[in-house]
Structure 1
Amino acid sequence: MSSARTLSGAVLAACLVAGLAGCGGADKDKAAETPQTPLLPASAPPSSTPPPPKPVDPTPAAKTKIMADYKAYIADRSHGTVTNKPSYPYEKFMTGNALSALKSSVGGMYLIESKFGGSITFIKGRVAVINLKAKPATATVYACVIDDLTLTSKKGEVRKSGGIRLSNHDQVVLIGGRWKVTETQTNKPETAGCA
């Protein structure tokens, strides 16, 4: 009986070895079927690096921002003038001589109890000169506006500007991220701006 046990143990061991050998063989076959990524030959050219990006010209974006701020300035100036309050915050879109001159005009009319009415309307404009390297940056705007303001005196007399077209040549300066009018010059409509 012990020889039968020995024989059956030997058969069992032989079956285990054969089974393991069969499993290993299948793994080798699967490995042979899996495609291998070939290595690049030593003579392959190195990957090319992309060219550096071209510098972006900030001028077009600056001109767009200047004109947006300038249009807002005209609307704000019109609104502020007809409020007839010298304390109106014109500083939002103005600075320098332009600011002091407008405040003086509105303040003077307030003291003699004359009141503004009507509006100032932006028609068209363009940035004529720009210097983004200046500290702070500066530009010149040529614009065409319609001045349709009225001025009513304390006695009730009304003076109308009659909706005249004015050609503005205004200097703007970049302060705190906003282009503010610092110098303003009103010209005849046939000059650059309305022409």
Structure 2
Amino acid sequence: MRLVMLGPPGAGKGTQGQRLSERFNVPQLSTGDMLRAAVNAATPVGLAAKNVIDAGGLVSDDIVIGCVQERLSREDAKRGFILDGFPRTLAQAAALDDLLNSSQHRLTAVVELLVDEELLLDRVQKRAQEALDRGATPRSDDNPETMRQRLASYAESTAVLSNFYYNQGRLVSIDGMRDVDRVTADILEALT
């Protein structure tokens, strides 16, 4: 099983990715986690990423792609994986296709979680309030203005991936606003 999880921030990609990872016994791979691991391991890609991050810059597609390539070459990812947070651009999607083709693999599917923006904003506000109620500090991005900016960024750069994967016949669109268990069941049904 080789999956990509698509959807705006807060759509539930991480939650569903973890569930699918357990179900199919393949690793869930988060771009942020991969970059941090590469930096900590001082790999060539990790050192390049560290230099950019330390300078306050955004990590380039080349560095992110190199990090993903390093991670996918590990033994546990050879039988499958679930990517969360990658690809984010058309260039990254094309690079992923090239990477998989070079190892004679293809994506099984791209699972897109569809969500309503206003309900998503409500979800984020609720999560922030729950953190406050527990005496915890809410996540820094759990406020409506930050979420609106993240959603706009997603719509501008990442949402175009839906058409890219739809044209390849790999896109599976799922109502991400339903109950978590129902979303999982819908994904599993679509994949079988």
TM-score tier after normalising by the smaller chain length: under 0.3
Structure number with greater CO (CA < 8 Å, separation at least 6) is 2
**TM-score w.r.t. structure 1 length?**
0.18
Q: Determine which structure has more spread, i.e. the larger CA radius of gyration.
A: 1
More strand by share: 1
